[in-house]
């Protein structure tokens, strides 16, 4: 039997951000991460201006993220395109670089971190590790991202009748790709899905797709889906020509639109374990980092007893961004609606800016 006052499950952006704040406040805690080495998670890569503000409060400067500055957004549907400026500059970064940076900052601030530790089952006050060890805690910060932990898993019905899969291929590096994408984040809309592309600090780009299972089933497999999309979307095909090779990474049954509504004593759900915003909003990393900072600040100020109030406030704050992103996603995945809406976005670029602002979340509430 082991014990720690605060236990963080997961070393991604949500868990690492919480650890940094707890360490800065001098509060003892333990972060455990299932991987021994930092990989390059499938999701993420875009950090909005609000997320950059959140990172600044825990001592992470924009310069540490690399040179991939993002100033514009481009929308593609069929042969149509619309472009607008972002309200403020954002950033593109690989998850490998971001996660490595945040965990290093947590360790430097004094966080206790154990890697290669798998949690087999957990409650709000204890976790059973892969070797059978029980780890008790007063406050559990659940930051396992899209991976559910037995005992606190998100409900099965959150996935919907036609669940979404995340697919990712790597593009570049190439000077041609850099010229093509530039300082933009691109969204390519197609039947029952969409793809996002943004440059990263090392000159590569992630092409991340959210695709309904029915669309993948119609194609037969991920490679055949890529071929079909290349035929449908010439501009997407142009980007895919820079594919670096290798397997298509995938994650199944992403519960976009889900959010926890009620809190539980001693449990702080963070990031995707608190709410899953459709990825076309570009705020998944923002929610992860902001929720980690908020939870740590609330715990430092009020102790583990604030968990219920924290969770319910976070749920209220996530309602608008997740709800609005869900409405936009539903329209974007229908080619007829997407094509009809594109001229409006092109002629009224301020509309894109308004939507971008309305789907952000900040760190400044506990």
Higher pLDDT, residue 67 or 344: 67
Average pLDDT, the chain: 94
Look at residue 340 in the predicted model and tell me its pLDDT: 86
- Residue 366's pLDDT band, with cuts at 50, 70 and 90, is low
Interval 338-359: pLDDT, tens: 888 888 888 777 888 888 889 9
pLDDT, mean of residues 45-69: 95
Q: Residue written as tokens 């669309």?
A: 215
- Residue 365's pLDDT band, with cuts at 50, 70 and 90, is low
Q: How far, in whole angstroms, is CA 77 from its chain's centroid?
A: 24
Look at residue 324 in the predicted model and tell me its pLDDT: 95
Is 169 within 8 Å of 248 (Cβ atoms)?
Answer: yes
- Residue 35's pLDDT band, with cuts at 50, 70 and 90, is very high
Whose CA is closest to 341, among 181, 184, 189, 164?
Answer: 189
Going from the C-alpha of 9 to that of each of 40, 141, 276, the distances in angstroms are: 18, 6, 18
pLDDT, mean of residues 229-249: 92
Higher pLDDT, residue 356 or 286: 286
pLDDT, mean of residues 24-33: 98
pLDDT, mean of residues 98-102: 97
For 297, the token pair is: 């600040």
CATH number of 2-67+92-156+255-335: 3.50.50.60
- pLDDT higher than 70, residue 156: yes
Query: So where are the chain's domains?
Result: 2-67+92-156+255-335
- Residue 137's pLDDT band, with cuts at 50, 70 and 90, is very high
């Amino acid at each position: 039997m082991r014990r720690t006052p605060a236990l963080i499950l997961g070393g991604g952006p949500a868990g690492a951000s919480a650890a940094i704040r707890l360490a800065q406040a001098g509060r003892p805690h333990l972060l455990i991460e299932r991987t021994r080495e930092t990989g390059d998670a499938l999701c993420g890569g875009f950090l909005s201006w609000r997320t950059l503000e959140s990172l600044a409060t825990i001592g992470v400067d924009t310069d540490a993220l690399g040179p991939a500055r993002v100033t514009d957004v481009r929308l593609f549907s069929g042969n149509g395109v619309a472009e607008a400026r972002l309200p403020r500059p954002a950033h593109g970064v690989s998850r490998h670089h971001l996660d490595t940076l945040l965990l290093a900052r947590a360790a430097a601030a004094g966080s206790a971190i154990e890697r290669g530790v798998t949690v087999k089952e957990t409650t709000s006050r204890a976790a059973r590790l892969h070797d059978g060890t029980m780890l008790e805690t007063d406050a559990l910060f659940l930051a396992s991202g899209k991976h559910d932990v037995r005992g606190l898993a998100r409900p099965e019905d959150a996935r919907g009748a036609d669940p979404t899969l995340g697919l990712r291929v790597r593009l570049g590096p190439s000077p041609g790709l850099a010229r093509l994408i530039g300082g933009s984040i691109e969204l390519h809309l197609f039947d029952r899905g969409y793809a996002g592309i943004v440059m990263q600090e090392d000159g590569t780009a992630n092409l991340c797709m959210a695709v309904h299972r029915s669309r993948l089933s119609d194609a037969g497999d991920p490679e055949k889906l890529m071929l079909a999309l290349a035929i449908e979307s010439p501009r997407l095909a142009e980007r895919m020509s820079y594919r670096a090779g290798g397997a298509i990474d995938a994650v199944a049954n992403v519960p976009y639109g889900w959010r926890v509504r009620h809190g539980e004593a001693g449990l702080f759900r963070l990031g995707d374990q608190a709410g899953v915003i459709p990825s076309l909003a570009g705020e998944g990393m923002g929610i992860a980092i902001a929720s980690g900072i908020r939870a740590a600040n609330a715990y430092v100020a009020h102790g583990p007893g604030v968990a219920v109030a924290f969770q319910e406030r976070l749920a209220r704050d996530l309602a608008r961004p997740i709800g609005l992103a869900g409405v936009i996603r539903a329209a974007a995945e229908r080619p007829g609606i997407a094509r009809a809406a594109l001229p409006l976005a092109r002629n009224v670029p301020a509309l894109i800016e308004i939507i971008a602002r309305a789907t952000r979340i900040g760190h400044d509430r506990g």
